[in-house]
């Protein structure tokens, strides 16, 4: 098999080159996104690299009409053989854990191919959409997500409309909202105590957020709230929470081992809501993560919110997400929006994780600086500086 590497700014461009040079029978062996700056003359943007091969000699030259658009030389819709090759290649490489990621990638590769077979200008975005794409990258939206968002806008609208920045902004906002998905704060189970745990790395604001939410449920919504902390590593951390709880008259239990958890739960069985704060050291070592899992298994929370800071970069955040994946996260909570340089991280995480965003926090003040999340706000924050023109 003849194997070659193709590089381009977008996956769409790379696949166009593959198809141009290796024909419809090309097999995609590997795709990856690189982010080194200023290489290959691509102006410092992320670029994609596609490793592709050809199993058989190139077919006879295609008639001009087929090459230009809708049908290929075998009378199939253009791009269909390449699409099948990609599916084959993906099936061969599939590993269960990677399946959803591959499906996601495949869906936007298909979108790109559909754009090509509809006769779009391959590899070229209208200037205004190119600006939107660059803007999203500047907001630290992950390269593959930014491309997918822009392709979605491009394929949903006729090209003439994509000259209008207002249309692009509106459509991009809609695609961003869709990408964020439905946000959902804590869902209370009436007639029994709703148990909610907060996990995440050190210093992201778990304890502060627990204090804020405890205050909101207790003082504003008049619920019976109890708090459990399994942060037994540091006296100061327990003291911090105890001070808040004493001020608000909310009972606090310090649980030192998973075996002590049932007694604490019994003690608070009459509560409407039990918030569980955890120690943040865990993600760095597997023993601590294992222990955290045992605590959570004993607590059997209805929801486990992974607390992430908007001040941490994308790569570190993805590492954190991977490490905490094993503890069974159900929702995402973002803190420190007041300190964030931009908001692309939130969008990238939500696009990759397929989990609901529950709350965002916007400062150190207890109880004020917390609010239920909504996708409208996330879209507005990400697009904040993308002007109407
Ligand atoms: N600017 C800002 N600071 C915050 C926010 N939330 C928490 N903090 C601050 O972040 C610092 C760490 O907060 P904690 O609540 O102790 O963090 P934690 O996740 O419980 O930390 P560990 O228990 O060490 O894992 C404190 O100084 C908080 O005041 C926020 O939304 N914005
Ligand atoms: Mg803490």
Distance (angstroms) between ligand 2 centre and the Cα of 197 equals: 12
Q: Answer yes or no: is the C-beta of 331 below 6 A from any ligand 1 atom.
A: no
Residues 6+ apart with CB under 8 A from 76: none
Domain ranges of the chain: 1-121, 125-183+377-389, 194-373
Closest by alpha carbon to 382, among 143, 204, 169?
A: 169
Q: Answer yes or no: is the C-beta of 237 below 6 A from any ligand 1 atom.
A: yes
Residue 304 CA to chain centroid, in angstroms? 17
Distance, CA of 260 to CA of 281 (rounded, Å): 20
Distance, CA of 229 to CA of 190 (rounded, Å): 23
Q: Answer yes or no: is the C-beta of 326 below 6 A from any ligand 1 atom.
A: no
Q: Which ligand is nearest to the CA of 360?
A: 1
* CA–CA distances in Å: residue 342 to residues 68, 128, 134: 41, 21, 14
Architecture of domain 194-373: 3-Layer(aba) Sandwich (3.40)
- Ligand 1 atom index nearest CA of 200: 19
**Per-residue pLDDT at 78:** 41
Whether 40 has a pLDDT exceeding 80, the answer reads no
User: Atom 7 (ligand 1): residue with closest C-alpha?
Assistant: 205
Distance (angstroms) between ligand 1 centre and the Cα of 253 equals: 20
Distance (angstroms) between ligand 2 centre and the Cα of 358 equals: 19
Q: Answer yes or no: is the C-beta of 229 below 6 A from any ligand 1 atom.
A: no
Residue 311's CB is within 10 A of a number of other CB atoms, namely: 15
Distance, CA of 136 to CA of 172 (rounded, Å): 10
Distance (angstroms) between ligand 1 centre and the Cα of 203 equals: 5
Q: Which of the residue ranges 74-83, 167-176, 237-246, 261-270 has the most confident prediction, judged by mean pLDDT?
A: 261-270
| Residue that the structure tokens 């000699």 belong to | 57
pTM for the structure as a whole = 0.72
82, 75 contact by CB (below 8 A): no
Whether 44 has a pLDDT exceeding 60, the answer reads no
**Per-residue pLDDT at 229:** 95
- When pLDDT is averaged across residues 23-45 and rounded to a whole number, the result is 62
Q: Answer yes or no: is the C-beta of 262 below 6 A from any ligand 1 atom.
A: no
108-165 per-position pLDDT tens digit:
666 666 655 555 444 557 778 888 999 999 999 999 999 999 988 888 877 777 778 8
| Residue that the structure tokens 């592709």 belong to | 52
141-156 per-position pLDDT tens digit:
999 999 999 988 888 8
**Pocket test residue of 203, 214, 334 for ligand 1, highest count of atoms within 8 A of CB:** 203
């Amino acid at each position: 098999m003849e194997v070659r590497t193709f590089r381009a700014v977008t996956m769409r461009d790379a696949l166009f080159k593959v198809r141009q040079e290796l024909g419809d029978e090309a097999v995609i062996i590997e795709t990856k996104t690189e982010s080194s700056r200023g290489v290959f003359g691509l102006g410092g943007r992320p670029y994609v690299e596609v490793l592709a091969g050809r199993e058989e000699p190139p077919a006879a030259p295609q008639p001009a009409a087929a090459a230009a658009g809708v049908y290929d030389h075998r009378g199939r819709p253009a791009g269909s053989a390449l699409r099948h090759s990609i599916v084959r290649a993906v099936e061969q490489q599939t590993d269960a854990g990677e399946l959803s990621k591959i499906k996601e990638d495949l869906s936007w590769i298909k979108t790109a191919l559909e754009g090509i077979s509809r006769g779009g200008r391959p590899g070229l975005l209208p200037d205004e959409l190119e600006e939107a794409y660059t803007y999203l990258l500047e907001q630290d939206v992950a390269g593959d997500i930014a491309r997918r968002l822009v392709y979605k806008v491009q394929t949903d609208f006729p090209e003439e409309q994509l000259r209008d920045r207002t249309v692009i902004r509106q459509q991009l906002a809609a695609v961003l909202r869709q990408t964020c998905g439905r946000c959902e704060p804590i869902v209370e189970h009436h007639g029994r105590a709703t148990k909610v745990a907060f996990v995440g790395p050190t210093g992201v604001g778990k304890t502060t957020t627990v204090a804020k939410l405890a205050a909101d449920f207790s003082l504003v919504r008049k619920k019976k709230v109890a708090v459990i902390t399994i942060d037994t590593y540091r006296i100061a951390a327990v003291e911090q929470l105890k001070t808040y709880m004493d001020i608000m008259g909310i009972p606090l239990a310090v649980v030192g081992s998973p075996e002590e958890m049932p007694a604490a739960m019994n003690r608070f069985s009459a509560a409407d809501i039990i918030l569980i704060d955890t120690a943040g050291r865990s993600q760095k070592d597997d023993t601590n993560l294992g222990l955290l899992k045992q605590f959570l298994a004993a607590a059997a929370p209805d929801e486990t919110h992974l607390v992430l800071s908007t001040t941490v970069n994308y790569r570190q955040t993805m590492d954190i997400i991977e490490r905490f994946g094993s503890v069974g996260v159900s929702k995402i909570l973002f803190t420190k929006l007041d300190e964030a340089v931009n908001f692309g991280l939130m969008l990238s995480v939500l696009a990759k994780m397929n989990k609901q965003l529950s709350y965002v926090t916007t400062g150190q003040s207890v109880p004020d600086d917390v609010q239920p999340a909504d996708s409208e706000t996330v879209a507005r924050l990400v697009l904040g500086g993308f002007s109407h023109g």
